[in-house]
Structure 1
Amino acid sequence: MPVNGPNEWTELREWLAARIARPIDLAAFAEHDRARLTRSLAALATALDVGSTAPDVVRGQLDLGGSPRANDILSTHLAIALAARTTEVRAVTPDGGLAVTDRRRLAECRALAGDILALSPDPELIAFAADLNRRLDRAGRWRWVEPNVWTAAVVALAVLVLPFVGSAIDNPVVTAGGVLVGGALVFGFVMAHRRQQWAVDAEDAFRRPRA
């Protein structure tokens, strides 16, 4: 399942719905495992609903213990439920993509991807989580954002003028103060225009004006 396409939300939900609908021969399992799988399947059917408790329900069935085969299926169920959760954690962009919009969502998505990789041997789910991790790595990188030309001009002028004034009046205190203030202005300017990629992407996707 590719990540980061313009119709990602729709395509991901369709892919997950198809995974959820895959039949399981419950008759092949003992009564205890059959009951666990039945409860898991019922919860999984709600995995794409907002606020779904499917991950908690499936995790609870895993905790009950049972045959290795049933546990493998339940682990895959849990991985599917967690993949569905990533659609809720991320925001849907106007073109139908999915984007993280704050640090909390970035961290939660990364935790979900890690859990999926740890849980499931399913190659499709592994590929999904790996693609999501790569996207999150990119989203977490810092980048320079083009500053407002007037802001840059004011900072540059202050950096140049303040030490010059101190030198012109032959006052070392004013000169040193000008250098310190200029350095602080440059530092603040750089920090104000150094942003993580997720913030830039979200801003561009939702066309929010830059601060």
Structure 2
Amino acid sequence: MYFGSFPFGDDMRGPGPRRGGSKEKNNTKFYEILEVDRTASVADIKKSYRKLAIKHHPDKGGDPEKFKEISRAYEVLSDPEKRRIYDDHGEEGLENGGAGADPTDIFDLFFGGGRRASRQPSKKKGEDIVSAMKVTLEQMYSGATKRMAINKDVLCKQCNGVGGPADALTTCHDCDGHGVKVVTRQIGPMIQQTQSVCPACKGAGKSMDPSK
């Protein structure tokens, strides 16, 4: 395959970094904020966070922006999945949902690579459940156990969560059973693909036949 006359040439390059000058990931900042090593355990991270949270809490005269940085760093490093993404891709990976762009995608688009054709759209995870709770600074430092009540959706035992009898389920025609809708747009010489949860089946990939 000949790449010497790639159709877009150097004119396609923007004002950003040239070839070989990609932006370096910063995956040590949060560890530095919490004053722990990258190999620190969850317990060590939690202990350091409590100490720094009390020291820099705005109610104790601390800097609100510094407190936000500490809280953000703890939010990421205390979550195993977020910490893995941060270690691999830095903050940019967290903003992009976990992974950087595949550098071979552009070649798949223009030269018909088979990997993109076989790639199935993935369903997005549901949002985290967030509930506010009042705690004291002493409890943040020494730890405490509290009980709380939250609303939780459970599967219906009669229909197993599908909304009706099994023989009434049909493949969603809007998304062809994928649960997501992929929209392809031509932007100049580039092709952009975006996906969103199918509004017809709400991501289930199935719809209910009202006649059954």
Query: Which of the five TM-score ranges fits, normalised by the shorter chain?
Result: under 0.3
Which protein is richer in helix relative to its size? 1
Which protein is richer in strand relative to its size? 2
Larger Rg over CA atoms: 1
Higher relative contact order (CA 8 A, sep 6+): 1
Normalising to structure 1: TM-score of the pair?
0.27
